[in-house]
């Protein structure tokens, strides 16, 4: 499937609304999301069976021309095969939208493509295994790309194919006004269930003029942001953004809910190591645990959205670190706190919000010692343990909170960089995302006389120069 590329000045973003469906509509939602899961599982078994059959035939010396026909896993191949067999394997297929089955087939095509890319080395990261079947307990979702997809003029309903008008818990005024003004166009809609609640997420192409809201005056040109655990983030201005620690706050309630669920009759009997029918009380206890986890995730997401939106609106340039969170979380003493803070969310959100509001995002090099370097004299310490929460410089005598010191060092990284970038220097998402490395020792912020010589020295930077990492 070809990826949608928005025109110049437009970005793709999501508008998510909580739904309030009736009993009949809830049954239709579950039926369509179940159809997506069924198509995924059935075609996954078919692809695996064809592969196993071909391998068995090849082991007996059968020629390539006489082997069982290959089952391709591209979306057109999967869709073609499904249309040929659906009347036998799913005689109820007419009761669901064709987009529901297409959702499962598209997910399977992507999963198998990622598995093959990982196996051949084309995909970076941890080696991926063969896709697993989706269980009924998995999150239900279905994506609609064609048909009647719109928001109701009354701001209280959404219209989806085969599902009709569904009431929403909140007003859809923001999206409806943009569509009426011609500055937004709905591309697709995805319905999903989280902790017993149904949501509808619209993928929308929106035209943005990169203007800052009137209520968000510029507080400064450059700000360094140091993500942490004790505080959600520390700004170079000295502001300490509190960390709500939602998982730690819900830990006591979560423990009680999980102990209550453990006392119920679940689907697995540990004594006989066999499956059994779970009781309704067990299901209600599991639902309570799920709702607690959903609340924790919602509080965490809200905290990061509030902070990143404020940074993108109020500052011209935001500098963050490129944190290796996957490596940091291996420390078992910090794993829970790091997962609760989710520091990688900072860079992900700013990556697109800075493009929305016309600001610039710089990402410092992963190995830049922002915490070990003095923000006043730029002297770097060889070691600095996590237990030392105050940075004490032995050269100039500076004594400062280590996180504030790190944030100031991040802000100083781009003092020498021209901040007014032309429009053609944007990334594909409209954001100015640059990777910078520290200047040499002794290069004071704004000190043009001490700028080192090199290919970029003594001339005006162009848009092409800014596409590369700043190295000295």
List, by residue number, the catalytic residues: 226, 321, 403
Gap between the Cα atoms of 425 and 419, Å rounded: 12
Residues 432/317, Cβ–Cβ less than 8 Å: no
Residues 181/208, Cβ–Cβ less than 8 Å: no
Dihedral angle of Cα 129, 133, 138, 143, to the nearest 10 degrees:
100
Which of 247, 251, 193 is closest to 30 using CA atoms?
A: 193
Gap between the Cα atoms of 471 and 439, Å rounded: 8
Gap between the Cα atoms of 124 and 358, Å rounded: 32
- Residue 344: both structure tokens together: 């990688």
Angle made by CA atoms 172, 156, 185, in degrees to the nearest 5: 40
Gap between the Cα atoms of 333 and 417, Å rounded: 39
Name residue 15's beta-bridge partners: 202
Helix 75-89 and helix 98-120, axial crossing angle in degrees, nearest 10: 130
Gap between the Cα atoms of 400 and 393, Å rounded: 9
Gap between the Cα atoms of 380 and 79, Å rounded: 59
- Residue 375: both structure tokens together: 């923000």
Which of 350, 371, 244, 245 is closest to 305 using CA atoms?
A: 350
Residues 206/183, Cβ–Cβ less than 8 Å: yes
Print the SS3 string covering 334-397.
CHHHHHHHCCHHHHHHHHHHHHHCCCEEEEECCCCCCCCECCCCCCECCCCCCCCCEEECCCCC
Residue 138 dihedral angles phi and psi, to the nearest 5°: -70, 165
Which of 173, 203, 199 is closest to 186 using CA atoms?
A: 203
Residue 434 dihedral angles phi and psi, to the nearest 5°: -125, 150
Gap between the Cα atoms of 11 and 205, Å rounded: 6
């Amino acid at each position: 499937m070809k990826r949608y590329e928005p025109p110049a000045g437009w970005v793709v973003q999501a508008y998510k609304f909580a739904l309030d469906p009736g009993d009949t509509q809830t049954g239709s939602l579950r039926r369509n999301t179940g159809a997506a899961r069924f198509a995924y599982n059935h075609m996954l078994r078919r692809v695996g069976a064809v592969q196993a059959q071909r391998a068995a035939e090849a082991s007996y010396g059968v020629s390539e021309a006489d082997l069982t026909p290959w089952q391709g896993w591209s979306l057109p191949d999967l869709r073609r095969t499904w249309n040929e067999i659906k009347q036998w394997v799913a005689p109820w297929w007419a009761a669901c939208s064709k987009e529901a089955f297409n959702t499962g087939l598209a997910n399977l095509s992507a999963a198998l493509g990622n598995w093959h890319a990982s196996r051949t080395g084309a995909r970076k990261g941890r080696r991926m295994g063969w896709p697993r079947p989706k269980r009924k307990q998995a999150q239900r979702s279905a994506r609609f790309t064609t048909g009647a997809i719109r928001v109701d003029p009354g701001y209280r309903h959404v219209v989806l194919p085969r599902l009709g008008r569904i009431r929403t818990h909140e007003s859809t005024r923001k999206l409806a006004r943009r569509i009426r003004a011609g500055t937004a166009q709905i591309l697709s809609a995805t319905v999903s269930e989280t902790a017993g609640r149904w949501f509808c997420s619209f993928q929308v192409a929106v035209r943005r003029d990169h203007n800052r809201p009137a209520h968000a005056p510029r507080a400064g040109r450059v700000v360094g942001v140091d993500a942490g655990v004790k505080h959600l983030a520390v700004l170079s201005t000295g502001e300490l953004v509190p960390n709500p620690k939602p998982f730690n706050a819900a830990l006591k309630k979560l423990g009680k809910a999980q102990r209550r669920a453990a006392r119920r009759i679940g689907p697995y009997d540990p004594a006989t190591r066999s499956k059994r029918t779970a009781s309704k009380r067990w299901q209600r206890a599991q639902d309570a645990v799920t709702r607690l986890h959903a609340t924790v995730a919602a509080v965490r997401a809200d905290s990061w959205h509030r902070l990143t939106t404020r940074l993108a609106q109020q500052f011209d340039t935001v500098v963050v670190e490129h944190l290796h969170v996957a490596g940091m979380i291996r420390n078992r003493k910090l794993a829970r706190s790091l997962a609760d803070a989710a520091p990688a969310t900072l860079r992900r959100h700013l990556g697109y919000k800075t493009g929305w509001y016309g600001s610039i995002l710089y990402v410092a090099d992963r190995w830049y010692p922002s915490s070990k370097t003095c923000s006043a004299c730029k002297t770097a310490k060889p070691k600095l343990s996590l237990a030392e929460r105050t940075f004490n410089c032995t050269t100039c005598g500076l004594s400062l909170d280590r996180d504030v010191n790190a944030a100031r060092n991040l802000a100083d990284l781009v003092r020498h960089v021209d901040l007014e970038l032309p429009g053609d220097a944007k990334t594909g998402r409209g954001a100015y995302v640059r990777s910078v490395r520290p200047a040499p020792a002794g290069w004071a912020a704004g000190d043009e006389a001490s700028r080192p010589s090199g290919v970029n020295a003594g001339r005006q930077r162009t848009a092409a120069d800014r596409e590369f990492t700043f190295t000295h």
